[in-house]
Structure 1
Amino acid sequence: MVELRERPRTGWAAVAPVAAASFTLVLSEFIAVAVLPSLAADLHVSEGDAGLAVVLPGLVAAVAAPAAVLAANRTDRRLVLLALTGLLAVSNLLAGLAPSFTMLLVARALLGVAVGAFWTIGVAVAPRLVPAGRGTAATALVTAGISAATVVSLPAGHLVAQTWGWRWALLIVGALAVLITIWQVLALPSMRPDRALGWSALTSLFRSRRDRTGLLLGALLFFAHFGAYTFITPFLTDRSAFSSGSVTLLLLGFGVAGLAGNFGAGAAVTRNLPLTLAAAAVLLGGSVALLTAVTSLPALTVVLVLVWGASWGAVPLIVQTYMMGGTAAEGGLALFVSTTQLFLAAGSALGGQVVDRWGLSPDYLLFAIPAVAAAVVARLFLKTT
């Protein structure tokens, strides 16, 4: 048996395969959206039922995040990341080869385990791989995978599905995960866990005012964003009268702006985290609310969508950085992942009800409110927690 020893920091060459895993993880989540119609037709289920393939990973991730911290309590973080990236590969390959919808859901549940555990442990190890003082930049590189995958997942998945079929879209992502696993084997050092974390220690974080504030901010912002973003395509096509091709380009712009916002926040958050988060929350809520007033002005609509993308791209990095500053970084991130995944689902579900009953504009106005509330919380409480 090979003995695992703590090796020195290896710098950005070790951060890169973790960031690549982040990209592939989000790509795996969103590519199902791109192939949903052909997947449903091939497996003989309705598109509504097929939507479980999109929702299920998030629900499983909410449970997997704290469970991963407890299960991998004393395990070398290098081995944990290798196992998670390997699980990511297995889930995509199984989904691509699934003979039935039930097997596909099993594969997507495995993806949910990888999602929850990775956003808890993968993000937390990034600062350990670079010189002191560069931790936020390393975290920004890992979280940039969210925006980058958002940019390419829908168009790439659609292109592959149209050319070779939906199964190949998932199989290609699975093959990419295999390559990244090999890359991690070569690049990652051994990393012993910073501290053992039991169930009592994990639940004790709820007694910390600092951690409660971070969880509240994550809940408000994810609830606000996904309550509106889930319906961005019908909003742009029905309310703003953009063509299908224009919407595709605008969504690409949203993702690129999110990437810029992620790295911009990485530079600003070390100077003033409360102000950076408050600014991002105000821009998110303001852009969502103002979109309802400029539907007849395409240029302003484009500007507001890009502002929304940039502000949202900053949010996960800022709140995760804040949660990692507590007494138990991985524990705080575990609760953050669980909270945000649940409020992501709640926002989408409630948003659907609002849209069905009152329309798109009331939905956008309603979900701008929790974003503005998050800005108030950030300015009033972060400095004193």
Structure 2
Amino acid sequence: MAPAWGAVISMGLGVFGLVGAEFLPASLLTPIAAELGVTEGMAGQAVTATAAVALVTSLFITAATRHIDRRLVLLGLSVLLILSNLLVAIAPNLPLLLTGRILLGVALGGFWTLSAATMMRLVPERHVPKALSILFSGVSAATIFAAPVGSYLGAIAGWRTVFLAAAGLGALVLVVQLATLPSLPPRGLSRLRTMVEVLSRRAVGLAMAAILLVFTGHFAFFTYIRPFLETVTGAGVTAISGILLGFGIANLIGNYLGAFLLERSMRLTLALMPLVMGTLALALAGAGGNIAADAAMVALWGVAFGAVPVAWSTWITRAVPDEAESAGGLFVAAINFAIATGAAAGGFIFDASGVGNVFMASGIVLIAAAVMIVTGVETRAAARTA
């Protein structure tokens, strides 16, 4: 089997387009809320809606499409990405904007659920780690694109123009995938009971609980970072764009740091990252206000979080090698439930008592996650079955 690197790159582009679109509201929250006449906490529910639908999609997509060529499914999800961004760009009110974000949730949940298993079919086994690193580089690139570029372009041309640009990126992704993705006939007949069986494994259940805590803590922080930088740090649009750019670059560095640390200790890598993030959240909540110090802490957070998805994806491939697609669906569901929880809870806390308390809650949740990983998560590789 010759590796299909063009298809792998197209998958990385798909991740770039989807993740970039998912988190654009984090950098555009203030102008979106102002134009639509809602609070920033309500506007933050655009992230919640996407994550909630992605969660449901991740649980059902494998079973619902078990008879359909995976190439056609992936192309259809890219079409949804385009339609979602176009709908948000023209939305005159919050309900229509949320409708567009729901379409994105379907695309995001479906794509992520199928992506790891697809990587395993595009390249020989020895090249899977490299293929996955290309896939996750799309996440880091999207972090760099969505936050600072979205904030800066939004200030110049308006937030609607940012979503139109995201739709154009989605069209590019679709063209590249049409040209490179081979036919991928479905394998097996995955059903919901397979996911239940995988989740019932003790190692998987505890890991999913830890994943929920890590990603809930992160997205309570990340969704409301712009209001924090505006109100606590006192940063203007240019400074915010620069800080978010630093976060994105640091996130990319964190991908490689995660791979480096995983070669030495998986447990250390899984636990250290949320511990660092939680400590930074508490520090920002308690002592934020100096622009240089806050920028440095946000960048360090980016490094730590960059290692998180790489570490947990590697854990999945080692712990559940016999049911990679079902485990991938659970992984995506756990992350998106955490995103929805973090964004929603953060919005309520923000509206009730301010952004500082959002960061305080984030820090507590992340440190709890680190404790759970150290004391309960199994990191030894499971035996592979033929």
TM-score (norm 1): 0.86
1-structure distance, mates of 2:158, 2:226: 23
Deviates more, 1:198-207 or 1:130-139: 130-139
1:1-385 to structure 2, matched below 5 A, reads 8-34=1-27, 45-47=37-39, 50-97=43-90, 102-161=95-154, 164-292=157-285, 294-295=287-288, 298-325=291-318, 326=320, 327-355=322-350, 359-380=354-375, 381-383=377-379
Decide whether aligned partners of structure 1 residues 207 and 256 sit closer, same or farther in structure 2, where only a CA change above 3 A counts: same
AA aligned opposite 2:192: W
Q: CA deviation at 1:286?
A: 2.2
- Kept in 2: contact 1:240–1:298 (CA 8 A): yes
Provide the rounded CA distance (Å) in 2 between the counterparts of 1:235 and 1:101: 23
Distance in 2, Cα, partners of 1:310 & 1:263: 9
1:58-78 residue CA offsets vs partner (Å, 9 max, x unmatched):
111111111111112243322
Structure 2: gaps of 5 or more residues: none
Say whether the 8 Å CA contact 2:44–2:344 is kept in structure 1: no
Distance of aligned partners of 1:23 and 1:223 in 2 relative to their CA distance in 1, 3 Å threshold = same
Aligned mates of 2:364, 2:182 — CA distance in 1: 44
Residues of 2 paired with 1:229 and 1:45: CA distance? Answer: 22
Cα distance in 1, alignment partners of residues 297 and 27 from structure 2: 24
Alignment check: 8 A CA contact 2:149 2:241 kept: no
CA contact (8 A) 1:9 1:189 kept: no
Contact 1:214 1:322 in 2 (8 A): no
CA contact (8 A) 1:10 1:189 kept: no
What's the secondary structure of 1:133's corresponding residue? Answer: helix
CA contact (8 A) 2:45 2:344 kept: no
Moved more, 261-270 or 161-170: 161-170
Q: Which residue identity lines up with residue 368 of structure 1 in the other structure? A: G
Q: Does the Cα contact within 8 Å between 1:92 and 1:173 map onto a contact in 2?
A: yes
Mean CA deviation greater in 70-79 or 158-167: 158-167
Q: Structure 1 208/365 Cα, relative in aligned 2: closer, same or farther at 3 Å?
A: same
Q: Is the 8 A contact 2:26 2:223 kept in 1?
A: no
Corresponding letter in the other structure for 1:174? A
Equivalent residues of 1:124, 1:324 under 8 A apart: no
Q: Deviations over 1:274-309 (max 9, x none)?
A: 221122122222222233454365544333222211
Query: Following TM superposition, by how much is the alpha carbon of 1:247 offset from its aligned partner in structure 2, in angstroms?
Result: 2.8
Query: Closer, same or farther in 2 for the Cα pair 1:51/1:297, shift >3 Å?
Result: closer
> TM-score, normalising length from structure 2?
0.85
Shift of 1:215: 0.7
Compute the displacement of 1:116 (Å): 0.7
Q: Is the 8 A contact 2:221 2:358 kept in 1?
A: yes
Equivalent residue pairs, number: 377
CA contact (8 A) 2:49 2:340 kept: no
SS at match of 2:126: coil
- For the Cα contact (< 8 Å) 1:58–1:341, is it kept in 2? yes
Q: Whole-Å Cα distance in 1 between the matches of residues 150 and 21 of structure 2?
A: 10
- Report how far residue 130 of structure 1 moved: 3.0
Could you tell me whether the CA contact under 8 Å between 1:123 and 1:143 is conserved in 2? no
RMSD: 2.9
Identity value in percent: 33
Structure 1: gaps of 5 or more residues? 1-7
Q: Residue 383 of structure 1 aligns to a residue in which SS?
A: coil
Partner SS state of residue 85, structure 2 = helix
| Separation (CA, whole Å) in 2 of partners of 1:304 and 1:35 | 21
SS at match of 2:379: helix
